[in-house]
Amino acid sequence: MPQWPESPESLPAGHPVATVPTARPGRTGRLRLLFTVKDGRTVLTDGYAEPPFAIGRVFYPAGPALAHLILVQTTAGLFGGDVLSATIDVEPGARVVLTSQAAQKVHPSAEGEWARQQWHARVAAGGELHGYLEPIIPFAGARLDQRTRFEVARGAHLFWADGLMAGRVRREERWQFVALRTETALVRDEQLAFLDRASIGEDHAAADKPWAMDSYVYLGTQIACGVPGARDKGEALQASLFDGERADDVRGAVDAVEDDVLVGRALMSDGVSFGRLQRAWRRAVFEDLLGEPEPPLRP
């Protein structure tokens, strides 16, 4: 399998880096975001985007301390051979909410090429990063390799929620992509705290087996990092997210992987259930874990 291209972030400190236009605009793209605090306001101090990424306006629907940025990609989705990489840095005191403009579509891959996407977020002590992303939708014939790495210092907060959809379900397209590989890693002060790897398709068992996704068509992941007393709050969080009138449409569990880290996984039967869980997770994060009102977000 081809390796990821070397990025400036992977080079030694002081190594000279020349920034030149990408040779494959829209196919090989990078995004870099740096958030800091100035006079009590979280600001996007530095931003760099290559197509298909674009950086829009930062909104403050809950006041100057909490910045909201909508992540935008300007193409129809990912295709085989695409390589996208996003790096997000949150400095001490900065509070950031990231949401996605729409679900990420992954199109059929020609000649067996993989579409590749990488997220790398670093949150310094005293920083706070929220990510509430729409699901990835791999179409029939797609190949996707996605890697997500979080580096969260002690004293920082990370709250993340994303998901995967089985395909274009209304067209009876369920789990028909060729292959999908994902890796999510959480690192605390250079120590690995959580690692999740999944491989669906090719030589691996089909996703719709009873011991895998069964008849569900959405898979969601939720992470809460930097929550004091997480082990005591996990059971209540699980009850608030997964117990209720529509429990048959959502199956999930919350585990405490460290004293201040909670990880949730959920299976959902439809998009309505996915959206409901995303909203419930965000509400639980602010009201139950942070003890503050859930802020409005820019629609």
Q: Is the pLDDT of residue 18 over 60?
A: no
Report how far residue 292's alpha carbon sits from residue 276's, in angstroms, rounded to the nearest whole number.
20
In our burial notation (b when 16+ CB lie closer than 10 A, e otherwise), range 44-59 reads beeeebbbbbebeebb
Q: Is the pLDDT of residue 222 over 80?
A: yes
Report how far residue 166's alpha carbon sits from residue 143's, in angstroms, rounded to the nearest whole number.
13
pLDDT on residue 48: 96
Residue 169, classed as helix, strand or coil, is: helix
Backbone angles phi, psi at 66, to 5 degrees: -115, 110
Q: Is the pLDDT of residue 80 over 80?
A: yes
Q: Which of 249, 248, 225 is nearest to 154 (CA)?
A: 225
pLDDT on residue 200: 81
Return the residue matching tokens 């740096």: 34
Report how far residue 192's alpha carbon sits from residue 149's, in angstroms, rounded to the nearest whole number.
10
Q: Is the pLDDT of residue 267 over 70?
A: yes
Q: Is the pLDDT of residue 250 over 90?
A: no
226, 256 contact by CB (below 8 A): no
Q: Is the pLDDT of residue 22 over 60?
A: no
pLDDT, tens only, 157-198: 999 999 998 888 878 788 888 888 999 999 998 899 999 998
Q: For residue 123, what is the enclosing H or E element? A: strand 115-123
Report how far residue 225's alpha carbon sits from residue 42's, in angstroms, rounded to the nearest whole number.
20
Q: For residue 239, what is the enclosing H or E element? A: helix 230-242
Report how far residue 84's alpha carbon sits from residue 106's, in angstroms, rounded to the nearest whole number.
12
Tokens of 151: 């580096």
pLDDT, tens only, 92-123: 999 999 999 889 999 998 778 999 999 999 99
pLDDT on residue 25: 58
* Beta bridge partners of residue 147, listed in sequence order: 118, 183
pLDDT on residue 163: 92
Q: Taking the model in full, what pTM does it have?
A: 0.86
Q: Is the pLDDT of residue 291 over 50?
A: yes
Question: Angle 188-97-236 (CA atoms, 0-180°, nearest 5)?
Answer: 65
Q: Which of 39, 56, 60 is nearest to 295 (CA)?
A: 60
What counts of helices (H) and strands (E) characterise the chain? 2, 17
pLDDT, tens only, 29-64: 999 999 999 999 999 999 999 999 999 999 999 999
All residues at 6 or more sequence positions from 264 whose CB lies less than 8 Å from its CB, including other chains: 220, 221, 222, 223, 224, 237, 238, 241, 252, 253, 254, 255, 281
Local confidence band at 245 (pLDDT 50, 70, 90 cut-offs): low
pLDDT, tens only, 143-160: 999 999 999 999 999 999
The mean pLDDT of 210-220, rounded to a whole number, is 76
179, 150 contact by CB (below 8 A): no
Q: What percent of the chain has pLDDT over 90?
A: 57
pLDDT on residue 185: 96
pLDDT on residue 125: 97
pLDDT on residue 231: 84
Q: Is the pLDDT of residue 268 over 80?
A: yes
Report how far residue 197's alpha carbon sits from residue 163's, in angstroms, rounded to the nearest whole number.
14
Tokens of 179: 């292959």
The mean pLDDT of 274-290, rounded to a whole number, is 91
